[in-house]
Structure 1
Amino acid sequence: MPTPLPARPAQRVQLPAEFDDELRARLAALDTASDAHAREQRPENTVLAYRADWKTWTKFCEQLQVPVTAATRGTLRAFVEYLWKYEERAYSTVDRKLAGVAVTLRQEYDVVINKRDTKSARELLKDYRRQAEKDKEPARGRGKAPAMRVDALRQIVDKCGDDIFGVRDRAMLLLGFAIAARRAELAGLRLRNIVEDPDGNGLLVHVRVSKTDPRTVPVPYGTNPATCPVRAWKTWVERAQITDPDRHAFRAIHATGSVQPKGITPARVGDIITAAGARARIEVLFTGHSVRSGMATEARRAKKDPKAIAQITGHKPNSKVLHGYMQIVDQWDEDDNALVGIGL
């Protein structure tokens, strides 16, 4: 038998109260750097939304005459009532504002809201929604973005010009469709996030700025060169002459046609998608989310497995949102529509 190694003497664990000033300074610097990195990973529209959520909460607290840090069960329920009944906000907006307030309180004031208090506020919100549905009130909010189907996508990219604006818009639309991108995800892409597959199969797109978990989408060459996202991307990179891996993949363009160093905002991405649809005279008013819903819808229509679709969209396989995309297609399928094949 091998001779056992002598046991090492147990080392005393140093407690935080015993840290010296030099260690505290290094840990503080690490905290600051990690906070900055976390902020950089957050989509710009999420940052702006949280800022707006906090502004709403501040206004509400002033009216209620309580400190902004007083996030209790009572104040949170009152906040929900205020948003739902008096400001007539959509369900998703109220739910997000609760999240935005919680995030800001935790990050800026070190105040952590009791989970039971947050749950009670959300339960009240669900009660309001159930009552609204029972009373058959009109749906609030903008509703789902219309899906940009492949036939519409073909018409749209065909109307993108051959100038630098058209080259960028074509690449953005096709790549956005291929990775089922939210507008913030397209705006957040850096050049380093889009790389060629080593075996020449297409592109590997690393979606790092996302409201959900990061994902990597393998984008193959398209069978139709006119709608191939890989070819469109390569054309844009060549024409724009962008090489800095840390700068945005899609850039602002000056009226003179000069490609700018700065990227475009999520709102601008949505505007470009909407304008491209209007330019092609598509009757449907597409929005920044339309390429995402369009990809999921078309993939399901092609009988792709929901798990395969979820890997591209970043949804959980049992996601209610993803299931909603499925229903758009499945409602006419003989296996899912009880009226098909019964002899009518």
Structure 2
Amino acid sequence: MQSVEKGTATAQQPDANTENDLQHGSARPQDTPVPVGISSALDGDTEMVENENPSAEAPSPAPLNASALPAHLEILADRAREYVEAASAPNTRRAYDSDWKHFGSWCRRQGLDQLPPDPQIVGLYITACASGAATRNRKSAAVSSIERRLSALSWHYRQLGERLDRGNRHIATVLDGIRNTHGRPPVQKEAVLPEDLIAMLETLDRGSLRGLRDRAMLLMGFAGGLRRSEVVGLDVAADQTEDSSGWIQILERGVVLTLRGKSGWREVEIGRGSSDSTCPVAALETWLKLGSIAHGPLFRRVTGEGKSVGPDRLRDQEVARLVKRAALAAGVRGDLSESERASKFAGHSLRAGLASSAEVDERYVQKHLGHASAEMTRRYQRRRDRFRVNLSKAAGL
């Protein structure tokens, strides 16, 4: 990734256009999400965009001249590279790098130059993406994927000291036409409702460490309204690992999660449930005790045929796989075929499930999920408010 040339001290946030939360998504807000379609490009766990201004682009400072740096500043240059890496989530960087390579490959096949940025070439590129001419299998890209690719190009050009004007008519007009022609409603993952979650818990082995871990992950993810990266990023306490995105504090009445988002820190309170069998805090305490976990990553790999807990943190994709596997085993949405059901569930099903089922004032759900606007929270509430206000009857029909 060409984030920083030798000696470059440019650290720039990527252009958010996404957790999606589409369903990812992580955009962005209290907890800026990844751009539209980031999740789908990685693991099929898509979510709607949590960003109110997808076209906003922050100005980029001019990079330093590497040849002008004295030798003793090389250490600072290396640290600058590390900060650039930390400016965006790993999933975002992977998706942006993939899109940049895709654009470069297309330019080479067409005999065009990738540098400097040319709005006419970019306009042709997104046209090729929409028509299927940009890939060998002739598959058309979704509008959300094209918007994400534009964000990736803008970000990469900024890292190279260049600027791509997305408002240029060669890009903006073509993109408007693509939206009007190929735009579709966002595809959202199915919300896991409380009755679904209880059925999913029953499919897990209560006598195994893996089953105890998975119970705690499902209950914590649901009750906390957490993204999959937030679930696996937790540590037992603060400042224990370098790759942590937060930690827990167990209190008498519940557990407090301190989570690091892209725009700062936030706290999430998870209270104790009315029954030990479905209490997220009780499930967490059982996992900590029987898994002998006192330091480091909270949710780890279970090794040795399920008899011991390893030191390694789970990857966030494991949350999506767990939700999908448990939902299928529990027969959730049994009215659909197995292939249809398999595509309905992913990590964000837990987050959407809490938003859809918590019968409390909307502002509390908004704060819990870390949304900057009530409108974003309403997008997560899949079916909660449908037909609650019946204007047909209200009008006398």
Q: TM (normalized to structure 2)?
A: 0.68
Alignment RMSD (CA, Å): 2.9
Do the aligned partners of 1:277 and 1:286 also contact (CA within 8 Å) in 2?
A: yes
Do the aligned partners of 2:352 and 2:382 also contact (CA within 8 Å) in 1?
A: no
Do the aligned partners of 2:191 and 2:382 also contact (CA within 8 Å) in 1?
A: no
C-alpha displacement of 1:213? 5.6
Do the aligned partners of 2:266 and 2:370 also contact (CA within 8 Å) in 1?
A: yes
2:143 aligned partner, one-letter code: Y
C-alpha displacement of 1:171? 0.8
C-alpha displacement of 1:274? 0.4
Which residues of 2 match residues 1-344 of structure 1 at below 5 A? 21=70, 24-25=73-74, 27-38=76-87, 42=89, 44-86=90-132, 87-107=139-159, 109-114=160-165, 116-117=167-168, 121=171, 124-132=174-182, 139=184, 143-162=187-206, 163-192=208-237, 193-196=246-249, 200-208=252-260, 210=261, 214-245=265-296, 248-254=297-303, 256-257=305-306, 258-282=308-332, 283=334, 284=341, 285-299=344-358, 302-305=359-362, 307-319=363-375, 321-326=376-381, 328-334=383-389, 337-340=390-393
CA offsets 1:3-33 (integer angstroms, 9 cap, x no match): xxxxxxxxxxxxx99x994774464354234
CA offsets 1:117-158 (integer angstroms, 9 cap, x no match): 4x863553233222346xxxxx488x1000001110111112
Counterpart Cα distance in 2 of 1:227 and 1:175 = 10
Do the aligned partners of 1:212 and 1:314 also contact (CA within 8 Å) in 2?
A: no
Counterpart Cα distance in 2 of 1:240 and 1:132 = 50
Do the aligned partners of 2:143 and 2:182 also contact (CA within 8 Å) in 1?
A: no
Counterpart Cα distance in 2 of 1:96 and 1:213 = 23
**1:5 corresponding residue in structure 2:** none
C-alpha displacement of 1:293? 0.9
Counterpart Cα distance in 2 of 1:281 and 1:77 = 46
**Bigger Cα Rg:** 1
Aligned length: 307
Could you say what secondary structure the match of 1:332 adopts?
A: coil
- Which structure: greater helix fraction? 1
C-alpha displacement of 1:55? 2.5
- In the alignment, structure 1 segments of 5+ residues that lack a partner are 1-15, 134-138
Q: Percent identity between the aligned chains? A: 24
**1:12 corresponding residue in structure 2:** none
